[in-house]
Structure 1
């Protein structure tokens, strides 16, 4: 009698999906984008004091935050774009430091650099054998006695 394996639960399917892409790096890039976008588009109310940041840097902040979200999304959807998206996210995080409210108060830049590094360092462990990096072996030479 054949016994079928039980179907995978949602948690197991998510764990498998998450293992096939740089999920941690993408989460850090998303948090970075949120911190980059937050200061320029929120209004804080402290007692009777209303704090609003709306300057010309809001356009660059919007561009940097949206581009960071794009990098995070592309890594999740297509893991093979990790080098391009990770390099772009690293560049965006470093440009955000002077251009976007001190990089989202420093936290956005820090999370962007860490997320980009995690994305660039990720390797696919889907079960495919790694390519040999050693030099190819030469066939053994046979000595003949004359």
Structure 2
């Protein structure tokens, strides 16, 4: 074995874990998981029977079909967040609306458990944003890793000439009153 041959000695679980971590990082994973976990109790509780000794307690309501539809839609929205994350904002808004509708329809939103999970999943889906891809400019690639004397090593950093010793002022979209001095720099 040579040090250049990486990955051959890795355990298959490590490879799967890294692949899952990469997959999970490119989509609103936790939003989908919480939305799915919110849909399960909303769909389950209206059809569940609880046995206490010889007595059976049925939690079914007249709106059992509505609870089942809301639960299945929440589970579907959770999978949509995972596998079609382009529509994450729509799925998040729909999950929040279905969670709110589940309060009067589905046993107080699956006894508040399903309501809270679906609400959290919808909020996470709306707020999730994809990470910016890191791109290496062509001038900073491996070929540009040459120092001033021509030997490989640290790259040479180019300095931009400035009229003052201070760094140039970056334009900002919104400036606070302390920063909005009209381009004048204070001395001292």
Structure 2 CA distance for aligned equivalents of residues 41 and 126 of structure 1? 45
Number of residue equivalences: 131
Q: Partner of 2:7 in structure 1? A: 6
Stretches of structure 1 that go unaligned for 5 or more consecutive residues are 136-146
Higher relative contact order (CA 8 A, sep 6+): 1
The 4+ residue runs of structure 1 with deviation greater than 4 A are none
Q: CA RMSD in A?
A: 2.0
Match 2:25 to one of 6, 19, 24: 19
2:154 equivalent in structure 1: none
Of structures 1 and 2, the larger Rg is shown by: 2
Partner residue in 2 for 1:122: 128
Q: Deviations over 1:83-139 (max 9, x none)?
A: 01001001000110111110000111111111111111111115268xxxx77xxxx
> Could you tell me how far 1:38 is from its partner in structure 2?
1.9
Structure 1 residue 70: deviation in Å?
Answer: 1.0
Report if aligned partners of 1:20, 1:126 keep a CA contact under 8 Å in 2.
Answer: no
Q: TM-score, normalised by structure 2?
A: 0.64
The residue number in structure 1 matching 2:34 is 28
**C-alpha displacement at 1:5, in angstroms?**
4.2
In the TM superposition, residue 2 of structure 1 has moved relative to its aligned partner by 9.6
* Unaligned ranges ≥5, structure 2: 9-13, 136-171, 174-188
Q: How far does residue 78 in structure 1 lie from its aligned partner after superposition? A: 0.8
Q: Give the number of the structure whose residues are more often helix, by fraction.
A: 1
1:33-72 alignment, distance < 5 Å: 33-72=39-78
Partner of 1:76: 82
Deviation at 1:54, TM superposition (A): 2.9
| Match runs of 1:103-114 below 5 Å | 103-114=109-120
Q: For residues 59-95 of structure 1, what are the alpha-carbon distances to aligned partners after superposition, in whole Å with 9 as ceiling and x for unaligned?
A: 1001100110111011111111100100100100011
Q: Give the C-alpha shift of residue 30 in structure 1.
A: 0.8
